[in-house]
């Protein structure tokens, strides 16, 4: 009977873990993002620096394991192993009736759901490495209970020692471990110990953070001392985002306080029913509840494609649906720029975007993707600025350190680049990247072969400054380039300024911009010449019209095309929305 119950539990576990593995694998770009947005440094100084608040060991371990997310399948295996170990520990420690042990799978399912429901919030997390800190925290707590459960004498002293050690190491999860042991003791310990130990655990959970604040961590906010280790800076503890995490923690607690009957009864059906219930709850939840925001997953995919330089994939991600976001539009333009098609094709794709929403709140685009958007658009100072902004209150994420290093290299700020590259070199997972760019410090000519440097290096020669006010960074890429069109930029900025002037039909300084563009390009695309023709005609300035027509060539097919189009437009206004020429775009009626 026991064997059958166990097999049934194992089958349920396999089914659930298979779904979990599939889910994480399917969203591997999401797993990868955790690594990109986290940091790790193997130096002693960095480790020591984490001990200014409770939970340092957990944070360090979480950040270390998060680095495996650069190889998502390795991270998935580690994560699922932690989940499996946690479920096994919870089952073994708390669920004395073997027939109900599959219930221990529910907390880890809830924990995974918490992670998978983060959606766009993953970009804004101040608690980086969340993908591992929370599962590790749960595992740590269960481990502490397991160790304490083996203590047969002086259990009170052992509990005090555990509280004093586990709180600095694991923060909230240290306290959770103590409370969990209290719950365990209330059921498992006989006599007065069954009362004393739970009471002691409650007292310790209340007092240890206070003592730690007074003696050890006086740089912390006392009101947060009980929650450090949870993502309390990112979500209200009672927010819907925190609900799955809350369920995970409470359900483990519930397993601990239920007075299971030792060994269980003889009937087998409760085992089958429990397994069926657990699977029935878990599998649909894992299918339905993770963040399914297509915009979010397209953005993640586009970011990995950008990193690989797969411009076609970026454009595909951006154009996969009529519904697109500001970030994807910026990525698409960057990809078109890198393909040399921004001027000719920039206007073909939709520019209208939907705001990024999460739990009814619009999320600031620059904070979601400021560094990436600005970096790939060649606005490197803005990218650096947003790297700093996002590092504030969070960690120096690997992704941002790489941008900062490359920006410094492109700007020939070698000492600065060296600082960032050295930091990356202290991350064992980034040594190869650091080695590659450290070589450029010694031999800057190597940088000429770097595609990013080739594309953005010439843009940095633009001496005249442009600006964006600090408070309105989102959506400022087109705005910046349009402003630049007034300043008549040179180099690759001309490409951008021309494309954005065409897309947004801005004629404030088009003639000068055109002259600059023409002088820096071997041939001017027909669409640009057509734009000039249109802008001049629409300006109603006879002198300008005459000059442009003369320079275009009175007999030019372009002029014939323009005039025939305008004639058709008079008689057949619908004609303007057909076709994929700039003429069609310019005269397309606004919706």
- Of the residues 191, 360, 393, 542, which one makes contact with other proteins according to CB under 8 A: 393
Rounded Cα–Cα distance for residues 234 and 245 (Å): 13
552: which 2 tokens? Answer: 């275009």
Contact residue for other proteins among 15, 23, 46, 587 (CB under 8 A): 46
Identify whether the C-beta of residue 365 lies closer than 8 Å to the C-beta of residue 358. Answer: no
Please, which residue, 71 or 426, has the CB nearer to other proteins? 426
Backbone angles phi, psi at 130, to 5 degrees: -60, -30
User: Per CB under 8 A, does 480 bind other proteins?
Assistant: yes
Name the one residue in this structure whose structure tokens are 């479920």: 87
Q: In terms of Cα–Cα distance, which of 110, 29, 26, 42 is closest to 69?
A: 29
Pick the stretch among 22-30, 60-68, 173-181, 378-386 that binds other proteins (CB under 8 A).
378-386
Measure the CA–CA gap between 405 and 422, rounded to whole angstroms. Answer: 10
Nearer to other proteins among residue 420 and residue 517 (C-beta): 420
The region of 140-148, 152-160, 258-266, 469-477 touching other proteins under the rule CB under 8 A is 469-477
Supply 397's token pair. 């994420």
Structure-block tokens of residue 354: 């939907």
Please give the radius of gyration of the chain, using alpha carbons only, rounded to the nearest integer. 30
Distance separating alpha carbons of residues 376 and 403, to the nearest angstrom:
10
Min separation Cβ 410 and other proteins, Å: 10
Considering the rule CB under 8 A, would residue 224 count as an interface residue with other proteins?
Answer: yes
Least Å distance between CB 489 and other proteins? 9
* b/e code 385-414 from CB counts within 10 Å (16+ = b): bbbebbbeebbbbbbbbbbbbbbbbbbeee
User: In angstroms, what is the minimal distance from the CB of 350 to other proteins?
Assistant: 25
Shortest distance in whole angstroms from residue 516 CB to other proteins: 16
How far apart, in whole angstroms, are the C-alpha atoms of residue 125 and residue 121? Answer: 6
234 binds other proteins (CB under 8 A): yes
CB of 412 to other proteins, least distance (A): 9
Cα–Cα distances (Å) from 162 to 141, 382, 548, in that order, read 10, 48, 82
Candidates 161, 250, 388, 553; binder of other proteins (CB under 8 A) is 388
The span of 142-150, 183-191, 216-224, 430-438 binding other proteins (CB under 8 A) equals 216-224
Collapsing DSSP states into helix, strand and coil, what is residue 265?
A: coil
In DSSP terms, 230 is beta-bridged to 228
**Residue 235 found at the interface with other proteins (CB under 8 A):** yes
| Among the residue ranges 189-197, 201-209, 467-475, 553-561, the one whose residues contact other proteins (CB under 8 A) | 467-475
Lookup: tokens for 15:
């089914």
Print the binding letters for residues 287-326 with other proteins: x by CB under 8 A, - otherwise.
----------------------------------------
**Residue 233 Cβ, how far from other proteins at the closest point, in Å?**
6
Among 43, 267, 321, 359, binds other proteins (CB under 8 A): 43
Burial letters 235-270, b for 16+ CB under 10 A, else e: beeeeebbebbebbbebbbebbebebeeebeeeeee
Residue count, binding to other proteins (CB under 8 A): 55
Measured distance CA(316)–CA(24) in Å, rounded: 23
Is 102 within 8 Å of 278 (Cβ atoms)? yes
Residue of 30, 123, 260, 382 interacting with other proteins (CB under 8 A): 382
Token pair for residue 236?
């209200």
Query: Is residue 51 close enough to count as binding other proteins by CB under 8 A?
Result: no
Binding residue (CB under 8 A) for other proteins from 27, 33, 41, 62: 41
Q: Which of 101, 385, 529, 532 binds other proteins (CB under 8 A)?
A: 385
Cα 428 to chain center, whole Å? 21
Instruction: In angstroms, give the least distance from the CB of 21 to other proteins.
Output: 33
| 376 touches other proteins by CB under 8 A | no
Closest CB to other proteins among residues 76, 379: 379
Nearer to other proteins among residue 274 and residue 466 (C-beta):
466
Q: Does 16 bind other proteins (CB under 8 A)?
A: no
48: contact with other proteins by CB under 8 A: no
User: What is the spatial distance between Cα 370 and Cα 423, in angstroms, rounded to a whole number?
Assistant: 22
Q: Dihedral through CA 26, CA 29, CA 34, CA 38, nearest 10?
A: 160
Residues near other proteins (CB under 8 A): 41, 43, 45-46, 218-221, 224, 232-236, 379-382, 384-385, 388-389, 391-394, 396, 408, 411, 413, 415-416, 418-419, 422-423, 426, 459-460, 462-471, 480, 483-484, 486-487, 493
């Amino acid at each position: 009977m026991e064997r059958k119950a166990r097999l049934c539990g194992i089958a349920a576990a396999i089914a659930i873990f298979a779904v979990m593995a599939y889910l994480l694998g399917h969203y591997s770009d999401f797993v990868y993002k955790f690594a990109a947005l986290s940091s790790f440094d193997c130096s002693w100084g960095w480790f020591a620096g984490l001990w200014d608040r409770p939970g340092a060991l957990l944070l360090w371990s979480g950040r270390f394991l998060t680095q495996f997310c650069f190889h998502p399948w390795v991270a998935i295996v580690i994560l699922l192993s932690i989940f499996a170990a946690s479920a096994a520990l919870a089952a073994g420690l708390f669920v004395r009736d073997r027939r109900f042990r599959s219930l221990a799978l529910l907390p880890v399912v809830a924990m995974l759901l918490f992670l998978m429901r983060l959606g766009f919030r993953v970009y804004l997390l101040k608690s980086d490495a969340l993908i591992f800190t929370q599962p590790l925290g749960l595992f740590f707590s269960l481990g502490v209970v397991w160790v304490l459960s083996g203590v047969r004498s002086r259990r009170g002293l052992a509990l005090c020692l555990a509280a004093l050690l586990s709180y600095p190491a694991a923060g909230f999860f240290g306290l959770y471990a103590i409370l969990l042991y209290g719950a365990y003791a209330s059921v498992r310990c006989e006599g007065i110990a069954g009362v004393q130990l739970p009471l002691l655990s409650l007292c310790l959970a209340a007092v240890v953070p206070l003592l730690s604040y007074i003696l050890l961590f006086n740089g912390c906010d006392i009101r947060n001392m009980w929650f450090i280790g949870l993502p309390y800076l990112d979500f209200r503890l009672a927010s819907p985002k925190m609900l799955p995490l809350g369920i995970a923690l409470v359900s483990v607690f519930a397993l601990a306080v239920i007075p299971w009957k030792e060994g269980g009864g003889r009937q087998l059906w409760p085992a089958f029913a429990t397994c069926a219930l657990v699977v029935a709850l878990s599998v649909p939840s894992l299918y339905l509840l993770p963040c399914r925001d297509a915009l979010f997953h397209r953005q993640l995919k586009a970011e990995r494609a950008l990193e690989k330089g797969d411009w076609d994939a970026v454009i595909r991600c951006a154009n996969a649906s009529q519904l697109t976001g500001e970030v994807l539009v910026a990525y698409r333009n960057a990809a078109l720029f890198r393909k040399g098609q921004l001027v000719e094709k920039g206007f073909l794709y939709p520019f209208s975007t939907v705001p990024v929403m999460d739990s009814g709140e619009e999320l600031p685009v620059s904070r979601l993707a400021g560094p990436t958007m600005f970096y790939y658009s060649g606005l490197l100072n803005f990218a650096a600025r947003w790297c700093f902004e996002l590092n504030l209150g969070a960690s120096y994420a690997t992704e941002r350190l790489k941008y900062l290093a490359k920006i410094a290299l492109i700007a020939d700020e070698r000492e600065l680049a060296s600082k960032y590259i050295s930091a990356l070199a202290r991350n064992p997972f980034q040594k190869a990247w650091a080695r590659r760019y450290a070589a450029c410090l010694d031999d800057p000519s190597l940088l000429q072969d770097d595609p990013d440097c080739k594309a953005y290096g010439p843009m940095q020669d633009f001496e005249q400054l442009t600006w964006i006010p600090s408070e309105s960074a989102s959506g400022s890429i087109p705005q910046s380039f349009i402003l630049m069109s007034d300043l008549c930029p040179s180099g690759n900025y001309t490409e951008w300024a021309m494309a954005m002037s065409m897309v947004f039909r801005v004629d404030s300084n088009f003639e000068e911009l055109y002259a600059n563009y023409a002088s820096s390009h071997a041939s001017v695309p027909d669409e640009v010449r057509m734009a000039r023709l249109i802008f001049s005609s629409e300006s109603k300035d006879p002198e300008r019209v005459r000059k442009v027509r003369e320079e275009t060539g009175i007999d030019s097919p372009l002029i014939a095309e323009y005039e025939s189009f305008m004639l058709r437009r008079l008689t057949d206004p619908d004609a303007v929305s057909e076709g994929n020429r700039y003429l069609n775009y310019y005269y397309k009626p606004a919706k």
